[in-house]
Amino acid sequence: MVHFDYSLAENSSASEIMSSAFDSVKEEMDSDRIGYYKLPTHSLAHLDRLKELDTSSFSQIVIIGIGGSSLGIKAIDSILRPYTADAKEMLFLENSDPITIAETMAKIRRDEACFFMISKSGSTIETTSVLKTLIDHFDIDLDGSDKHRVVAITDSGSVLSDFAKHHKLLEFNIPDNVGGRFSVLSAVGVVPLAMAGYDIEALLAGAGELISDFFDHKEDHLLQKAYSYATHSKTQSINVLFSYADRLEDLTKWYVQLWGESLGKIDKDGNRVGLTPIGLIGAVDQHSFLQLVIEGPQDKSVTFINIEDFQRDITIPDVTLEGIEKTNFINNQTFGRLINEQCKATMQSVTESGVSTDSITLDRVTPANIGKIIAYYELLTSLIGSIFGVNTYNQPGVELGKQILYKNLSK
């Protein structure tokens, strides 16, 4: 169960804008122009296909991908791992940083690894460069004994798809109407995470339930939040996602990409719009960023995420530190209670300072709950994009840098 706490005093102009945003995303879904809404059911076919494969010889899943081809997978792996017995190890080769590449390669057990080459376009420079390096370093025989350990996930018809077909590799496709940052519930996330041992059917079911509840008007807090965020974007231009669990950090990075790249756009009237996403981790960032939220410019809204029951909790023992007896009030309490009370106290102090807050509460960490949060942020992003009047699904701003890079490196 996930509780999304958001409410807005409705007024008539709000109601009209919210209704129009709802119709707009519904049209995206119904027309099949945008495909992520239907992934919770469409992706089940990948799971069926996986069941036919013998994956028992793999003890490692190596993801070669960056951006939308890694962030969502990492987010789910990170949060579910402590709650999933015997999940296979996952390694991520994302960046073009030589130190990281060398360190990650040193962890790969060549003969127990399954390599996932993930790229929507197929020609991502970081990803193809890493694949070349792995082929060379591990002497991977794509046409012989290693054929079964290299999997391609890409658009049908992409250059990576050509490569997979040339070597007759196992290939999964991303629907054309699903963009990279909305692709975690497509083959991109579903296939490697299921192979790692996560309960992906439950993850998809949770996401599917939230999406169908939204279209059944059972989750109208999403419309209210989208309306409020979009219409206050000039004054509250920054949204902070303050997660009270270390293992939600990768989810905040997934959210930063989704939010930043979808909404930071030139709108249909030529104006620059956007909401700046920031991910924080509680209680750590109470000792860092919180002062700025409370006393700095009031240009932020803050969403708190907490987990009511960590399940694997630790009780703080009844130990007295001589001289520090004043901390004895915490003895016999759990760390789970401490971090949740820290979340509550921080939210109260932020609210009292005049900053807008809202909260997302997971009763426990389950695949279904994480699926819901993913669907929640995807829907929220689409709704705000619709109110902004931007194309939520492209990223024209990053092209110039790529052109400059290719020009400079091809010299």
CB of 218 vs its own copies, minimal distance in Å: 31
| 171, 219, 261, 378: the active-site residue | 261
Q: Which stretch binds its own copies (CB under 8 A): 12-20, 189-197, 321-329, 356-364?
A: 321-329
Dist. CA 36–CA 380, nearest whole Å: 13
Is residue 319 close enough to count as binding its own copies by CB under 8 A? yes
- Name which of residues 240 to 279 contact its own copies (CB under 8 A): 244-247, 253, 256-257, 260-261, 263-266, 272-274, 276-278
Site membership for its own copies, residue 206 (CB under 8 A):
no
Residue in 310, 376, 377, 393 binding its own copies, rule: CB under 8 A: 310
By the rule CB under 8 A, 294 interacts with its own copies? yes
The least distance separating its own copies from the CB of residue 255, rounded to whole angstroms, comes to: 10
- Closest approach of its own copies to the CB of residue 215, in Å: 28
At its nearest, how many Å lie between its own copies and the CB of residue 231?
15
Number of residues that bind its own copies (CB under 8 A): 121
- Shortest Cβ distance from residue 213 to its own copies (Å)? 29
Report the residue number, 9 or 324, with the smaller CB distance to its own copies: 324
Q: Which is nearer to its own copies, 23 or 103 (CB)?
A: 103
Residues numbered 98 to 117 that lie near its own copies (CB under 8 A) are 98-103
- Examine the residue annotation and report whether 402 is marked as an active-site residue of this protein: yes
Residues of span 58-87 touching its own copies by CB under 8 A = 66-68, 71, 82
Distances 52 to 49, 100, 154, 168 between C-alpha atoms, Å: 6, 34, 21, 17
**Residues ≥6 apart with Cβ < 8 Å to 107:** 91
Give the residue with the Cβ less far from its own copies, 3 or 168.
168
Nearer to its own copies, 22 or 229 (CB): 229
* Residue 148 vs 344, nearer CB to its own copies: 344
CB contact burial 257-279 (16+ within 10 A = b; e otherwise): bbbbbbbbbeeeeeeebbbbbbb
Q: Which stretch binds its own copies (CB under 8 A): 19-27, 39-47, 190-198, 324-332?
A: 324-332
Is 292 near its own copies (CB under 8 A)? yes
Q: Does 286 bind its own copies (CB under 8 A)?
A: yes
Site for its own copies in 222-241 (CB under 8 A): 237-238
Q: Judged by CB under 8 A, does residue 31 bind its own copies?
A: no
Q: Binding pattern to its own copies, positions 152-181, x when CB under 8 A?
A: -------xxxxx-xxx------------x-
Q: Which is nearer to its own copies, 224 or 382 (CB)?
A: 382
Is residue 27 involved in binding its own copies (CB under 8 A)?
no
Q: So which residues are the catalytic ones?
A: 261, 287, 402
